[in-house]
Amino acid sequence: MDTRFDHRPLPLVLTGFMGTGKTSVGQVVAEKLGREFVDMDVVIEAKEGMPISKMFETRGEAYFRALEAELCARLAGCDNAVIATGGGALVNPDNRAAFVDACVICLDATAEALLARLESMCDRPMLAGNARIRIPELLSARRAAYAQIARHIDTTNKSIAQIADEVIALFKVASDEPR
Ligand code: S3P
């Protein structure tokens, strides 16, 4: 795909449930567009000097969510970045509002696909317990919030390269739209 189009300054934000490929896809997209890649979870972990799982354990979820909200407000002005949010970040309407002028794309996948991708991982505090139960539970709790996002890509059975190309195609359309 030709990624040399003259994309105007506009933050490109990838969001969606854990395991939808926000980070892997975001890195490829940033590379192709010649943009900086920002992974919100990595920024928060670096600032706090601990992994998110430890933060949930020692400070609690509310502490993490406050840092996440602060960071969304700060990143909304990063016109030349590709930003991967944590899966819960844009469930908060204030954080969606912070990115109102950005091109926000929500990556989706079926519960089965997510389970296959996440089952062997134990670093997601929101999935503590039984991932087989937690994934559909949390997906259904977040469905209405994710539905508020205008652009979606289904990632089920697609490669990272394929999803990255779809993201760039959507971004191209968004960056041609008048502000
Ligand atoms: C979370 C998703 C995680 C991370 C934190 C909370 C969530 O990010 O922000 O564990 O609430 O869905 P990924 O979506 O990158 O796994």
Domain locations along the chain: 12-171
| CA distances (Å), origin 171, targets 29, 49, 53, 98, 130 | 10, 33, 32, 18, 36
Q: What is the pLDDT of residue 179?
A: 65
Of all protein residues, the one whose alpha carbon is nearest to atom 11 of ligand 1 is 88
Homologous superfamily of 12-171 in CATH? Answer: P-loop containing nucleotide triphosphate hydrolases (3.40.50.300)
Q: What is the pTM of this model?
A: 0.95
Mean pLDDT of the chain: 94
**Is it the case that residue 119 has pLDDT exceeding 90?**
no
Q: What is the pLDDT of residue 177?
A: 79
Of all protein residues, the one whose alpha carbon is nearest to atom 8 of ligand 1 is 86
88 lines ligand 1 (CB under 6 A): yes
125 lines ligand 1 (CB under 6 A): yes
124 lines ligand 1 (CB under 6 A): yes
Rounded CA-CA distance 172/150 in Å is 15
| Burial (CB count <10 Å: 0-12, 13-18, 19+), residue 173 | exposed
% of the chain exceeding 70 in pLDDT: 94
Which pLDDT tens digit goes with each residue over 55-104?
A: 999 999 999 999 999 999 999 999 999 999 999 999 999 999 999 999 99
Q: What is the DSSP letter of 125?
A: G
